[in-house]
Structure 1
Amino acid sequence: MAMTEPQPGDILADFSKRLVDIGGVSKTVYAGGSGPAVILMPEMPGISPDVVRFARWIRDAGLTVYLPSLFGVDGAFPTADGETVIRRACVSAEFRAFAGGGTSPVVTWLRGLARTALGECGGPGVGAIGLCFTGNFALAMTLEPAVIAPVVNHPSLPLDDPGGLAISDEDAVEVRERIRRDGLKVLAYRFDNDRWCTGQRFAAYQALLGDAFDGRVIPGETANPNPPPFFRDIVGGPHSVATAHLVDQQGHPTMRAKDEILAFLTERLHPGDPDPATS
């Protein structure tokens, strides 16, 4: 009997779905789990099955994952047509995809979501994970005091400046001071041959944050060689460490990265509890 391809709604069926209003702007948010909150932002071209898999790992680590819909079709398998989603995002007033644009306005909404999540879930604070197009949003979100565990995964913005940070000068200064004042750490990942997130970009983060920036680099040759069409045809090389280019095998470098991210989150959001999933 032929297998029926999962539909988008099926992929997200084990998460609650609601509209969350922040400052008069409503967006769809999927959530699941219990314990302190983590905001997981999608990568281009949207909330793919690989992003949902990552959300489930966060949920299963004893945390509540919030997955906001920012672009694309929720739960869809990414195809080469995702280039259309990128073009739409690049001209959207919510995003600043190119050098000189400063901090993306959508970050203000995401900071509000972090405040909401902290109020709903409690705990010492909230984690924030950015992926690709949203990678640097996790850093910009630290201007919200609720955010205490930022993870910056293969940030691709600004698209036209490999050494840029896609954050306004004023916000960069405030972020650096907040990181220093509260002793936060910023965990980050990239493949060594990623053409969208280069060594120049990580060097810029290091220059801004100093020792607070923990940038980890994985050999590109270990990336999943058979990612979905969008990543094969449009991204065109190793990029998405914890999602499309992850190899789901115990001990694999990308799986170790995923485990390190979960450990980083649980250490900061479940302080003193070595195994929050069983507490």
Structure 2
Amino acid sequence: MSSLDSWALGSHTAAGVTHPIYRKGSGPGVIVIHEIPGITPAVLGFAEDVVARGFTVVMPSLFGHPGAPATVLESVRSIAGVCMSREFTLFALARTAPLATWLRTLARELHMELGGPGVGAVGMCLTGGYALAMLADAPIAAPVVAQPASPAPVGRARGADLGLSPDDLESVRSKVAAGCQVLGLRYVDDPAVGTRFDTLRRELGANFIAVEFPGRKHATLTEHRQQEGVDRVLGFFEEKLKAATPDADPDSDPRASDPAD
């Protein structure tokens, strides 16, 4: 079983907020944002797959106990912590979570270091929509939205909401209209996702690529892993982050190709 022992532990601070980060691999950068209850063995297994395909993976630890299994107790503890934190927005409509600002700075820093067309980002469940929030104001070239479940789908409006402020939604629309594709994954009968895929199709049009599986399960890349979904994500990262990468000039400034500009 995969272990965090082979990952380099560091931290990232922005606007006075610090979270641990785990890093491994080489190649273009990908930020893997874990789901509840935290960096479980299944989340780590997915991240190892990304590393093995030739990417530098950075995993922030935002809540929970890194490496702990996805038990009911761990999930309850994580949810309690999230509810008490001001970094998350579980019920607010048309609002971007404050944590997105922190994640954007992490993406900018990684892109400044590694260069290339941009950074990949995958969010899951509670953090599923954060890849979109990062796209709004960071150099994200390969956003992946896995079973987005925030805000909590209590009522029709929340079940359809993308967790983005109006300004951020407009920025995402503009970048997608300019050619940035968004990959989304879900089980079609997953109640946590609500009707967000309908919203994504309406707002993003043909550049939203939906990968959908039958059933009422939830975690497409981890606890209820679908290998087809994992393969689609890995292929998406290769297409957007490797195939688009020109021959590197060691003296070039990666900001010159920043898709957020």
Whether TM-score is above 0.5 comes out as: yes
| CA apart distance, 1:176 | 0.7
Provide the rounded CA distance (Å) in 1 between the counterparts of 2:150 and 2:77: 17
Contact 1:98/1:166 (<8 A) preserved: no
2:185 is aligned with 1:189: yes
Unaligned runs of 5+ in 1: 1-5, 221-236, 247-253, 274-279
Q: Hey, what does 1:224 align to over in structure 2?
A: none
1:172 matched to 2:169? The reply is yes
Partner SS for 1:47:
coil
**Contact between 1:42 and 1:131, CA under 8 Å: does it hold in 2?**
yes
- Using the TM superposition, give the Cα deviation of residue 196 of structure 1 relative to its aligned residue in structure 2, in angstroms: 0.5
**Residue identity in the other structure for 2:28:** P
1:270 lines up with 2:242 in the alignment? yes
- Percent identity, aligned pairs only, is 38
Corresponding residue number in structure 2 for 1:203: 198
SS at match of 1:162: helix
The number of aligned residues is 240
- Of residues 133-142 and 167-176 in structure 1, the stretch that sits farther from structure 2 once superposed is 167-176
Structure 1 residue 259 corresponds to structure 2 residue 249? no
With the length of structure 2 as denominator, give the TM-score of the two structures: 0.88
Give, in whole Å, the separation in 2 of the partners of 1:208 and 1:272. 25
1:89 aligned partner: 82
**Equivalent-residue separation in structure 2 for 1:101 and 1:201 (angstroms):** 13
Matches within 5 A, 1:2-151: 11-81=3-73, 82-100=75-93, 102-151=95-144
Q: Shift in Å at residue 90 of structure 1?
A: 2.4
Deviations, residues 233-260 of structure 1 (Å, cap 9, x unaligned): xxxx5100010001xxxxxxx1011011
Aligned to 2:21, the other structure's residue is in SS state strand
* Aligned equivalent of 2:217, options 213, 232, 238: 238
How far off its partner does 1:144 sit?
Answer: 2.9
Give the drift of 1:197: 1.0
Could you report, residue by residue, the CA deviation over 1:215-240 in whole angstroms, capped at 9, with x for unpaired residues?
121012xxxxxxxxxxxxxxxx5100
Q: Deviations over 1:133-183 (max 9, x none)?
A: 1000001100234111000000001102221211112211121112223x1
* Alpha carbons 2:117, 2:241 under 8 Å: kept: yes
Matched residues in 1 for 2:51 and 2:99: separation? 24
Give the alignment's TM-score, normalised by structure 1: 0.82
Q: Any unmatched runs of 5+ in structure 2?
A: 246-261
The structure 1 segments of at least 4 consecutive aligned residues displaced by more than 3 Å after TM superposition are none
Does the 8 A contact of 2:147 with 2:184 survive in 1?
yes
Contact 1:99 1:164 in 2 (8 A): no
1:214 aligns with 2:186: no
- In structure 2, how many angstroms separate the alpha carbons of the residues matched to 1:73 and 1:268? 32
Give secondary structure in 1 for the equivalent of 2:192.
Answer: coil
Counterpart amino acid of 1:113?
L
* Amino acid in structure 1 at the alignment position of 2:24: G
2-structure distance, mates of 1:145, 1:116: 10
Instruction: Give the whole-Å Cα distance in 2 for the aligned partners of 1:170 and 1:162.
Output: 20
Distance of 1:147 and 1:13 partners within structure 2? 28
Secondary structure at the counterpart of residue 138 of structure 1: helix
CA shift, 1:272, in A, is 5.8
Secondary structure of the residue that 2:169 maps to in structure 1? Answer: helix
CA RMSD of aligned residues (A): 1.6
By how many angstroms is 1:101 displaced? 6.1
State the shift of 1:78 in Å.
Answer: 1.5
SS at structure 2 position matched to 1:196: helix
- Find the counterpart in structure 1 of residue 253 from structure 2: none
Distance 1:148 1:272 in 2: 10
